C-alpha cells in the first residue's frame, strides 16, 4: 500500500491548492504597503516617461 502511495501520479489535490492560496494571500496581506508603494512608483515612472515622449 505504501509503495502504491509513493508511485501515485495524481494532479495537485484540493488541499494542496488551498494551502498554496492561503500562503499567497497571507504574503499579500503582510506586504500590502510595500507592494502598494512599489506599484505607485512604477506607475509614476511610466507616466513621467510617457509625458517626455
| Mean per-residue pLDDT over the chain, rounded | 85
**pLDDT confidence of residue 30:** 95
Dump pLDDT digits (tens) for 12-31: 677 788 899 999 999 999 99
pTM: 0.53
How far apart (Å, rounded) are the C-alpha atoms in residues 21 and 25?
A: 6
Set of cell numbers at residue 12: 495537485
Rg of the chain over Cα atoms, rounded to whole angstroms, equals: 21
Helix ranges (DSSP H) in 1-53: 2-7, 14-30, 32-52
Amino acid at each position: 500500500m505504501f509503495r502504491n502511495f509513493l508511485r501515485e501520479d495524481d494532479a495537485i489535490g484540493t488541499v494542496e491548492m488551498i494551502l498554496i492560496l492561503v500562503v499567497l494571500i497571507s504574503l499579500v496581506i503582510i506586504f500590502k504597503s510595500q507592494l502598494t508603494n512599489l506599484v505607485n512608483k512604477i506607475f509614476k515612472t511610466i507616466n513621467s516617461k510617457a509625458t517626455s515622449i
